[in-house]
Amino acid sequence: MLEIFAPTPENLGLESIGAYAQRVEAMGFDGLFVPDAVHDGLLLACQALAATKRLRVGTSVLVAPPRSPMNVALAAWDLQRMSGGRFELGLGTQIRQNIEERYSARWLPPAAGMREYIGALRAIFHSFRTREPLHFVGEHYRFTRLQPFFNPGPLAVDIADPPIMLGAVGPKMLELAGAAADGLHTHPTNTSTRYLREAIGPHLAAGQAQRNPALGPFKVCANELVASGPDDAGVARERERFRGILAFLFSTPAYWPSLELFGWHELGPRLQRLTRENRWQEMADALSDTVLDEFLVCGRYDELPEALHVRFAGLVDRITLTVTDDTTHDAALAAALPAIRQGWRNRHGRRRIE
């Protein structure tokens, strides 16, 4: 069944996340993704879980390199325990400049470093659950000491280890997701139908050929930007807002492969030049409607079942739908969710990318 998650605005802090999570839960969303950008993702997840009863909450995505796997494992274990199994750990690497200059942390080769990071987390979870001695030795991480005093002990028998999702863009990270993670978080710049099929699918499949059979089913989550509303005017406003967001995102070279797949080789460098010249107001105008339509789903709430099916049928297991600031739209969006799920059940076949 299709799962529908709501994203959290990056400027939403600890004082507001609980009420926002309750609002999302009341509308009928399956889950909530919290960011790790302006505010700490683990703290946001804790507040959201504490404020809700049914909603699943995941980090999308937690910046891993500045944090020790042991610190993350302890926090994830506690969140999974206190929520009765509703927490999901989404991890990402960020770009080198942010890791070294924003966090003052060491930079590791993204795929190799994250492979060990996930391996360390699973080893630590195993020690928590079984109380067996901890022994994980890699090139970048070493965990060989966990005295009983510091071991939080097993979760309830009906609560699984926190699932580990991976945010991935490049080929090596996509293969790693398929091989070692429980699922993939796509980036908003790589959720076009063509990119999912031609770029993401083959690399996931290559990774899954090496996958440990003991790992559970793999989930693909499309963190898509969706411009929607109860009427055409609302959709148009959201469309223009996302035009600016995508223009900013595509100024980062790591996201240019999505543009290059369509032959738009000059657009990324052009947007990057505008940022360097502080010409921020001109960036949205550089993104044409043709480009926008490849990376943005648009439609009124009543049009979303068809629009989402056309974009993602057979490609993903989860989607994200934006919740606007206007609470008067909540009833209309809540009514759209079961219609989206029903339409997916009626027409959606088995996912074709692994």
Rounded to 5 degrees, φ, ψ at 219 are -115, 135
**Cα angle for residues 145, 151, 153 (degrees, 5° grid):** 140
Is 267 within a domain? no
- For residue 354, what pLDDT is reported? 58
> 86: closest CA among 50, 136, 40?
50
Asked whether residue 290 is domain-assigned, the answer is no
Task: Report which of 98, 92, 140 is spatially closest to residue 119, judged by C-alpha positions.
Answer: 140
The answer to whether residue 321 is domain-embedded is yes
269 part of a folded domain: no
| Contact criterion met (CB below 8 Å) for 176 and 153 | no
Tell how far CA 295 is from the center of its chain. Answer: 16
User: How many domains, the chain?
Assistant: 1
pTM: 0.93
Measured CA to CA in angstroms, residue 78 lies from 64, 157, 292 at distances of 18, 15, 41
Task: Return the structure tokens found at 141.
Answer: 């991480």
Q: In terms of Cα–Cα distance, which of 14, 38, 106 is closest to 68? A: 106
pLDDT of residue 216: 87
- Give residue 353's pLDDT: 60
Q: What pLDDT, on a 0 to 100 scale, did the predictor assign at position 81?
A: 98
In-domain check, residue 254 = no
DSSP letter, residue 266: T
SS3 62: strand
> What secondary structure letter does DSSP report for 155?
P
Are the C-beta atoms of 87 and 57 separated by less than 8 Å? yes
Q: How many helices (H) and strands (E) does the chain have?
A: 14, 13
Question: Along the 354 residues of the chain, how does pLDDT read in single tens digits?
Answer: 899 999 999 999 999 999 999 999 999 999 999 999 999 999 999 999 999 999 999 999 999 999 999 999 999 999 999 999 999 999 999 889 999 999 999 999 999 999 999 999 999 999 999 999 999 999 999 999 999 999 999 999 999 999 999 999 999 999 999 999 999 999 999 999 999 999 999 999 999 999 988 898 999 999 999 999 999 999 999 999 999 999 999 999 989 999 999 999 999 999 999 999 999 999 999 999 999 999 999 999 999 999 999 899 889 999 999 998 899 999 999 999 999 998 787 765 555 565
Q: Name the token pair of 64.
A: 């891993």
Q: What pLDDT is attached to residue 52?
A: 98
Instruction: Specify the pLDDT at position 344.
Output: 83
Any bridge partners for residue 4, and if so which? 319
Domain that holds residue 93: 3-235+301-306+317-347
Answer whether residue 266 is part of any domain.
Answer: no
Can you tell me the distance from the alpha carbon of 96 to that of 312, in angstroms, rounded to the nearest whole number? Answer: 31
Question: For the chain, how far is it from start to end, CA to CA, in angstroms?
Answer: 16
Q: How much is the pLDDT for 348?
A: 54
Which run of H or E residues covers position 49?
Answer: helix 41-50
Which CATH number characterizes residue 117's domain?
A: 3.20.20.30
Nearest alpha carbon to residue 228 among 219, 239, 220, 218: 239
Q: For residue 160, is it within any domain?
A: yes
Residue 70 lies in a domain: yes
